[in-house]
Chains A and B, each alone.
Chain A
């Protein structure tokens, strides 16, 4: 099939970006979306032009590196699918496709379609963990987890950290990403001791990094390649509210004043 691509090109963070148009002949339906871009890039290199820079790695939908906004939708039109798993059979001959980076205030463009998502690492660093050192663990089966809770924890834990939720949100909020991590631990007995401190610290970091707030558009859930539910945002809000009146909060304020 023949396609017309309008791709966002931007030299670096401070440069002004623009769309460039490329005509693609002979696109095969078994190609993945990124393989189609590979073909374009090979052509550009042979023409002596700079190829389109885009993030990608595992190409099996799990590493969370790929990050394109395709026709206005993060990861494109197929539900529950990352860009790398999107195949060209979802498009038809003559289609025009607009390809942009993930757009959000907290994700500055680095080059072309690559954005800086290091804010996610900073949020995890702030509290997205259970503080157990290597060697401290008790026998695994001494910690029982009801199957239902383990399954729900896994539903949240499968977040791949791609940032589609942020790109899809009109407010540029990272609530689904943070809620997924908070809920993963909140559903497990191992996560209880630090539950309050965790949600306080992660939310604080999220705000520092310039993410917006949630106003229930639910665009995040619709764009999430793992289809993580917005119900976790509700859980995080409850936990955050409770934690705001806890000893942990007082201690945080004391530490900040000191």
Chain B
């Protein structure tokens, strides 16, 4: 099937304005008759909840955290992009659009990206009005800094805690509506299934994590803002609870999953220290503004970094990509790190590390300036590793960080299931095959504050919805299926913990579907994953009760879905027989090791349809047309 993204006609600069005018409206008096379920309270979910409640809709919000403020958006460090051009360095909506399309290696929908760049400036305005304490110049005006993948300064930031401050802004806007009784908030409640009635998304089935109670909720529309699936790799920069269940369950109910193989490996994380490791910690990309990345020139050089003289160092990013240097985009910087480590030049106990060195910057700017810029990050590094980065270079290595893939949505952010809207990292839309730094926060808030509130109204105004209650047979059936799934998990009585299975899955995915992939490895993984899944369903152990706070059961439910989802990801990586952005197929590279796209055969979105566990899903395509940013080889040299 050829998918239609429902992109409005006309010049790209006018599409969104024209569409906003053409969309049907719901009158204020009628808005309160519609109920919207939102799952997830990160930047996208919280901003959407606040904005929709302000408009007058009835909103019901779900989060598995004890407080909405703990969603993982909170951990974003570096900043948020906008095309304000305050530094007068040549930025514009057009350039942000251009950089994002190019940065995504021409695998995003042009019209969506242009709209994202357009609303980027409104986001900064909104956040400032909410009291987000962005960094300021001495004059009192807003400060900017540069970031990977851009040659200008368009990033707004609040120390190394930009995600936290933006989330607290959206969270407080949402809590204000909770206080006004416009939003019903359910904490410690996890979505376990999507309710689809007559082909339309009408609700969710949830588990109360404190009591184990399975409940159902119905509404006129469902919005998933449930983030990404990097934890399929077990070790990633994501929080412990991040999982794929909400989007994967929607996929099993018929929603198409787009480009699942597009995962981002972030170049600057603290390397793994041992088997006990539960997560990888990101060191903000902003460090690459002043830090220089290098490895020893010669393999096996075991000297201390401070004892290696200048002539025996290889500042490989500066050497290979002179015009961007240490600010080369994430996928490129990550692969370059892997390459030098594969050559035996990696550093640290495992050999899987490169240096990020601040000694030149400290000489140039003084320790005080560096402390002001990165003090909290340096402290964090020292706490984790025991090394002081003011004295010895940091060691970093790439780690799974963000997933560009997600549920397929049209221009209105609605999936192929009517009524199911997907926003933020959970959808596939704007970042193509690689996301640029400081663009995730921008997209989450764009979707929640400025896009969904318009498009969801159009859906209501143009759709006739039957009245549905939780007594509907489809709702009961869905609840029963969830209960049976839990019963089945509880009754396996095997010998391995959910975490053991998760760790094994992560190793398979990292080895065969990580930073670089090839046909042989992917095919091998397609044999290993189903085997592991079979073992899971015959040898899993869960202790504790079903009707109680049960951390083992919570984990098992999430791992069960990762074990199915992983196979989908592998199929996508295998079938996308080209390299692009974060998806690097070893068979397709230029002699210098750069990714080689195949625009003739793969200039499209791959959206997968579920056909049963263990069966190969059906691959649908949405062709991508590049009218405004001509398809070129993406060079950062």
A binds B: yes
Where the two chains meet, the residues of A that have a C-beta atom closer than 8 Å to any C-beta of B are: 12, 28, 30-32, 34-36, 38-39, 41-42, 44-46, 48-51, 53, 55-65, 78, 80-81, 85-87, 89, 110-111, 114, 116-118, 120-121, 124-126, 128-141, 143-147, 150-151, 153-154, 157-158, 160-161, 184-185, 188, 190-191
Are A50 and B543 within 8 A (Cβ)?
yes
Are B138 and A125 within 8 A (Cβ)?
no
Q: How far is the CB of A206 from chain B (nearest CB, A)?
A: 15
Question: Complex: how many Å from CA A45 to CA B158?
Answer: 42
The 8 closest A-B pairs by CB, nearest first: A144-B140, A137-B129, A129-B172, A137-B125, A134-B51, A30-B273, A125-B179, A150-B136
Question: Complex: how many Å from CA A248 to CA B47?
Answer: 29
Number of contacting residues on B, CB 8 A? 83
Answer yes or no: B6 CB below 8 A from chain A CBs: no
Interface of A is mostly: loop
Are A147 and B129 within 8 A (Cβ)?
no
Are B210 and A158 within 8 A (Cβ)?
no
Are B67 and A154 within 8 A (Cβ)?
no
Contact bitstring B16-32, A, C-beta under 8 A = 1, else 0: 00000000000000000
Are B549 and A110 within 8 A (Cβ)?
yes
Q: Which residues of B contact A85 (CB under 8 A)?
A: 380, 383-384
Instruction: Pull 23 A–B residue pairs with CB atoms less than 8 Å apart, ordered by A.
Output: A30-B273, A34-B278, A39-B276, A42-B497, A46-B497, A50-B543, A57-B239, A59-B240, A59-B278, A85-B380, A125-B176, A133-B51, A134-B47, A134-B450, A137-B129, A138-B125, A140-B128, A141-B142, A144-B140, A150-B134, A154-B165, A157-B133, A184-B131
Q: Which residues of A contact B187 (CB under 8 A)?
A: 118, 121
Question: Complex: how many Å from CA A12 to CA B548?
Answer: 9
Are B165 and A117 within 8 A (Cβ)?
no
Where the two chains meet, the residues of B that have a C-beta atom closer than 8 Å to any C-beta of A are: 47, 50-51, 54, 65-72, 74-75, 84, 86, 121-122, 124-131, 133-142, 158-159, 161, 164-165, 168, 171-173, 175-176, 178-179, 185, 187, 210, 239-241, 273-274, 276-279, 281-282, 379-380, 383-386, 449-450, 453, 495, 497, 499-500, 541, 543-544, 548-549, 551-552
Q: How far is the CB of B186 from chain A (nearest CB, A)?
A: 12
Are B240 and A121 within 8 A (Cβ)?
no
Q: How far is the CB of A255 from chain B (nearest CB, A)?
A: 14
Are A64 and B69 within 8 A (Cβ)?
yes
Known: A143-B129, A144-B140, A184-B131. A60 touches B241 (CB 8 A): no
Q: Which residue of A lies closest to B71 (CB)?
A: A63
Q: How far is the CB of A9 from chain B (nearest CB, A)?
A: 13
Q: Which residues of A contact B168 (CB under 8 A)?
A: 157
Q: Which residue of A lies closest to B500 (CB)?
A: A42
Question: Complex: how many Å from CA A81 to CA B381?
Answer: 12
Q: Which residues of B contact A49 (CB under 8 A)?
A: 543
Q: Which residues of B contact A45 (CB under 8 A)?
A: 497, 541, 543, 552
Q: How far is the CB of B461 from chain A (nearest CB, A)?
A: 19
Q: Which residues of B contact A65 (CB under 8 A)?
A: 65-66, 70
Are A144 and B141 within 8 A (Cβ)?
yes
Given A51-B543, A65-B65, A121-B187, 7 additional A-B pairs, CB 8 A: A28-B276, A30-B274, A85-B383, A128-B172, A129-B175, A134-B126, A134-B453
Question: Complex: how many Å from CA A234 to CA B275?
Answer: 47
Known: A35-B277, A49-B543, A134-B449. A64 touches B70 (CB 8 A): yes
Known: A45-B541, A60-B380. A141 touches B86 (CB 8 A): yes
Q: Which residues of B contact A140 (CB under 8 A)?
A: 84, 121, 124-125, 127-128, 142
Q: Which residues of B contact A111 (CB under 8 A)?
A: 548-549
Q: How far is the CB of A235 from chain B (nearest CB, A)?
A: 15
Candidates A89, A132, A133, A160; contact of B164 at CB < 8 Å: A160
Q: Which residues of B contact A136 (CB under 8 A)?
A: 129
Q: How far is the CB of A51 from chain B (nearest CB, A)?
A: 6
Question: Complex: how many Å from CA A48 to CA B549?
Answer: 16
Known: A85-B380, A117-B66, A144-B141. A58 touches B72 (CB 8 A): yes
Question: Complex: how many Å from CA A30 to CA B281?
Answer: 13
Are A134 and B54 within 8 A (Cβ)?
yes
Are B136 and A147 within 8 A (Cβ)?
yes
Question: Complex: how many Å from CA A117 to CA B70?
Answer: 12
Q: Which residues of B contact A55 (CB under 8 A)?
A: 66
Question: Complex: how many Å from CA A140 to CA B144?
Answer: 13
Are B277 and A147 within 8 A (Cβ)?
no
Q: Which residue of B lies closest to A157 (CB)?
A: B133
Question: Complex: how many Å from CA A49 to CA B439?
Answer: 44
Q: Which residues of A contact B122 (CB under 8 A)?
A: 135, 137
Are A58 and B239 within 8 A (Cβ)?
yes
Q: How far is the CB of B569 from chain A (nearest CB, A)?
A: 24
Are A190 and B128 within 8 A (Cβ)?
yes
Q: Which residues of A contact B131 (CB under 8 A)?
A: 130, 153, 184-185, 188, 190-191
Q: How far is the CB of A50 from chain B (nearest CB, A)?
A: 5
Are A38 and B173 within 8 A (Cβ)?
no
Known: A134-B449, A144-B140. A157 touches B70 (CB 8 A): no
Q: Which residues of A contact B140 (CB under 8 A)?
A: 144-147, 150
Are B240 and A56 within 8 A (Cβ)?
yes
Q: Which residue of A lies closest to B139 (CB)?
A: A144
Question: Complex: how many Å from CA A48 to CA B183?
Answer: 41
Candidates A51, A129, A144; contact of B552 at CB < 8 Å: A51
Query: Of B134, B178, B543, which is in contact with the most chain A CB atoms at under 10 Å from its CB?
Result: B543
Question: Complex: how many Å from CA A192 to CA B633?
Answer: 52
Query: Of B86, B140, B544, which is in contact with the most chain A CB atoms at under 10 Å from its CB?
Result: B140
Question: Complex: how many Å from CA A14 to CA B70?
Answer: 26
Q: Which residues of A contact B75 (CB under 8 A)?
A: 58, 60, 62-63
Q: Which residues of B contact A89 (CB under 8 A)?
A: 386
Known: A28-B276, A150-B134, A158-B159. A133 touches B54 (CB 8 A): yes
Q: How far is the CB of B596 from chain A (nearest CB, A)?
A: 36
Are B66 and A116 within 8 A (Cβ)?
yes
Q: Which residues of B contact A137 (CB under 8 A)?
A: 122, 125-126, 128-130
Q: How far is the CB of A25 from chain B (nearest CB, A)?
A: 13
Q: Which residues of B contact A135 (CB under 8 A)?
A: 122, 126
Question: Complex: how many Å from CA A188 to CA B158?
Answer: 14
Query: Of B125, B127, B135, B185, which is in contact with the most chain A CB atoms at under 10 Å from its CB?
Result: B125
Q: Which residues of A contact B50 (CB under 8 A)?
A: 134
Are B240 and A57 within 8 A (Cβ)?
yes
Q: Which residues of A contact B139 (CB under 8 A)?
A: 144
Candidates A44, A110, A125, A146; contact of B136 at CB < 8 Å: A146
Q: Which residues of B contact A78 (CB under 8 A)?
A: 383
Q: Which residues of B contact A126 (CB under 8 A)?
A: 179
Q: Which residues of A contact B385 (CB under 8 A)?
A: 30
Q: Which residues of A contact B176 (CB under 8 A)?
A: 125, 129, 131
Are B549 and A114 within 8 A (Cβ)?
yes
Q: Which residue of B lies closest to A44 (CB)?
A: B543
Known: A125-B176, A188-B131. A154 touches B383 (CB 8 A): no
Q: Which residues of A contact B500 (CB under 8 A)?
A: 42
Q: How far is the CB of B96 from chain A (nearest CB, A)?
A: 16
Are B497 and A87 within 8 A (Cβ)?
no
Candidates A87, A121, A157; contact of B384 at CB < 8 Å: A87
Q: Which residues of B contact A184 (CB under 8 A)?
A: 131, 133
Known: A85-B380, A146-B136, A147-B140. A124 touches B172 (CB 8 A): yes
Q: Which residue of A lies closest to B551 (CB)?
A: A53
Q: How far is the CB of B174 from chain A (nearest CB, A)?
A: 9
